[in-house]
Amino acid sequence: MHGSKPSNLLLYGKTGTGKTAVARYVLSKLESETTSSKLAVCYINTRLASTEYRTLARFGEQLGVDIPPTGLSIGDVTSKIFRAIRDTGRSVILVLDEIDYLVKTYGDDTLYQFTRSSENLSPGSLSIVGISNDLKFKEALDPRVLSSLREEELVFPPYTVAELHEILSERAVTAFKMSAILDSAINLCAAMAGSEHGDARRAVDLLRIAGEVAEREGLHQIDDSCVRKASEKAEQDRVEEALRSLPVQNKVILLTTAKFQSGTNTGELYLAYGALCKKLGLETLTQRRVSGILAELDLMGLVEAPVVSKGRRGRTKRINLLVDAGTMEKTLSEDPMFSDLS
């Protein structure tokens, strides 16, 4: 507000502990209390932006710099942005949400540029607020970047069950009629979310879905069973959404794993996969790629594919489908490619 450069800041904490909410709230406060046009506030979630380039492009966009969706080098974009900040003389606050993702996948070069750019930016300035839910990501950072980034540091501890309960009660008052929810249902919501690392977002979602369940079943009150059903439904929705957004080849591989109820291994799966591709008229990928896709599916929690050693008989992935085969086939048959699947 006085035109001096704020310290860089790092926010830590697991998902659903309020890092993003707090950051956005403070920024909006700041914006509404300042009349100066010398302040610019940008918020970018680097994981949603998906690449380093797009992160920068969004940053530029929010500053009013025209950046094409592709075509420029990272360096070009950076200098374009710096020039814009210098020429307008603005104090820019850049919030990088899920900064750990950016650093892990693309390294800290850009961050390094950002943290030591102050000379090039005068009379403007750039401050970075990094938000991370991975406490270990600091290790991957160049010590110079780290020391400048953590001029200030703030840790968000997970919510306790009691705190979740308080949050949910508050929401329940505005969301429902007085007698429409049992206290035990709120307790259960809080307990379920609490046992899953104190994620407040999940807790609130759970409460909302429980309300929807009760409504659909024509109940006058939300009870424990609604919460349990809601929890199942939330999980189901997550899985179906994940399935739908899968690339074709990943879907084929998933369908192949469903053929082996008692689990399989990489070699066996690859043969069956090849056959299915032929039947569908699709290109068959290499085993290397299939192995990579299996690792992706494992990461998503759709299959389980730990590496096991069978001694003389080699090492392979022991592959098991983790989602219900029926649900999966039903969801995937929405894709015209697989519509004639029986």
Partner DNA sequence: CATCCACAGGAAGGACGGGGGT
Partner DNA sequence: ACCCCCGTCCTTCCTGTGGATG
Q: Which residue, 216 or 244, is less far from DNA as judged by CB?
A: 244
Q: How many residues bind DNA (CB under 7 A)?
A: 41
Taking the complex as a whole, the smallest distance from the CB of residue 247 to DNA amounts, in Å, to: 6
Residues 240-259 touching DNA, rule: CB under 7 A, are 247, 249
Q: Is 113 in the site for DNA (CB under 7 A)?
A: no
Q: DSSP secondary structure string, 133-192?
A: S-GGGGGGS-HHHHHHHTTEEEEEPPPPHHHHHHHHHHHHHHHS-GGGB-HHHHHHHHHH
Binding mask 38-77 for DNA (x = CB under 7 A): ------------xxxx--------------xxxxxxxxx-
Which among 11-19, 142-150, 202-210, 288-296 is the span making contact with DNA, rule CB under 7 A? 288-296
Residues 74-103 touching DNA, rule: CB under 7 A, are 74-76
Structure tokens belonging to residue 40:
């610019």
Q: Which residue, 168 or 254, is less far from DNA as judged by CB?
A: 254
For residue 123, whether the previous peptide bond is cis, meaning omega lies within 30 degrees of 0, is yes
Residue 93 forms beta bridges with which residues? 41, 127
Residues 289-308 touching DNA, rule: CB under 7 A, are 289, 291-295, 307
In order of 40, 100, 234, the CA distances from 21 in angstroms are: 19, 18, 22
Of 312, 326, 336, 342, which one interacts with DNA (CB under 7 A)?
A: 312
Q: DSSP secondary structure string, 185-222?
A: HHHHHHHHHHHTTT-HHHHHHHHHHHHHHHHHTT-SSB
Place of tokens 């401050």: 127
Q: Which residue, 269 or 328, is less far from DNA as judged by CB?
A: 269
Rounded to an integer, what distance in angstroms lies between the CA atom of residue 138 and that of residue 132? 10
Residues at the interface with DNA (CB under 7 A):
50-53, 68-76, 247, 249, 265-268, 283-289, 291-295, 307, 309-317
